[in-house]
Structure 1
């Protein structure tokens, strides 16, 4: 019990300092095509994103990561320190921004449009985005 409480306090402190919401059950939320800076309280030795096609990570320095939402979905971020101990193990959820998204249905085709302020085809790396 004492260990669980200490682990909970440590996790909360890590994410308060890192600027990530302390409610770890929700994970790290990123909008597709946007980046989010993650500050670590101790230096990272190894950084892993479970599914790199969903989110990408760039290591700016040993205490600063930049997460980028690539496509819709969920994955996880795992960071190890120099001793090989995990210092971060959090889910990542990449979603679309709620405002300005439109789906056009043409027979069997679904086309996503982003309308901010002019409507344009929603793309990821030059590929058009269909139904999730």
Structure 2
């Protein structure tokens, strides 16, 4: 008499074990939680009669009402906050949590002592502004991005931007 279960039973038990192992990964997000990454936006459909949006902490997320009951949720800083959607009479239609997380792309983080620099490597590594980067690095990237945007705006309008020191 063999103590090994028949092959179909072993396959079924193995499949069940794998399913239980990966079950937490397959559970959908809480329907009342809007998960968004920093510097990214997500569209959320709300009832069409929404007239007012209140954001708990606008430093973490921005919520902008669009026509037809659609809101744009933009991640601005790490953490959690909420937003409340009300109709013209002040009745609360929706109260949802917003969870803002770090970027999901392929990042490389370089530490130089306590200073941090972040690079987006898709496929070549380029400098990236990320909350928590060192002041000098972050400021340098912001300044370069601003100069580039200024040049692009000037070129689009047909004028030239002058550099001032």
Deviation at 1:30, TM superposition (A): 0.6
Q: Is the 8 A contact 2:35 2:99 kept in 1?
A: yes
TM-score after normalising by structure 1: 0.68
**Does structure 1 conserve the Cα–Cα contact (< 8 Å) formed by 2:38 and 2:103?**
yes
**Equivalent residue in structure 1 for 2:126, among 114, 120, 128:** 120
Match for residue 38 of structure 2?
Answer: 32
Give TM-score scaled by structure 2 length: 0.56
> How many positions carry a matched residue from both structures?
107
Following superposition, the deviation at residue 113 of structure 1 comes to 2.0
SS in 1 for 2:77: coil
Structure 1 residue 98, shift from structure 2 partner: 3.0
- The question of whether the paired residues in 1 share the 8 Å contact of 2:37 and 2:104 is answered with no
Distance in 2, Cα, partners of 1:24 & 1:64: 16
Q: Which residue of 2 aligns with 1:98?
A: 104
Match of residue 70, structure 1, among 76, 86, 98: 76
Larger proportion of strand: 1
> Radius of gyration: which is bigger?
2
Alpha-carbon distance, 1:43 to partner: 1.2
Q: What's 1:85 paired with?
A: 91
Runs (4+) of structure 1 moved beyond 2 Å?
A: 21-25, 96-99, 128-131
* Cα distance change, pair 22–84 in 1 and its aligned pair in 2 (3 A): farther
> Residue deviations 1:13-69, cap 9 Å, x none?
xxxxxxxx77246x1001122111111124112101111122112221251111111
Which stretches in structure 1 are left out of the alignment for 5+ residues? 1-20
Report the CA distance shift for 1:80/1:22 in structure 2 as closer, same or farther (over 3 A).
farther
- Contact map agreement 2:107 2:120 (CA 8 A) in 1: yes
- 2:117 and 2:84 map into 1 onto residues whose CA distance is 34
Alpha-carbon distance, 1:122 to partner: 2.4
* Residue segments in structure 2 that go unaligned for 5+ positions in a row: 1-27, 135-165
Q: Report the secondary structure of 1:41's partner residue.
A: coil
Write 1 or 2 for the structure with the bigger share of helix. 2
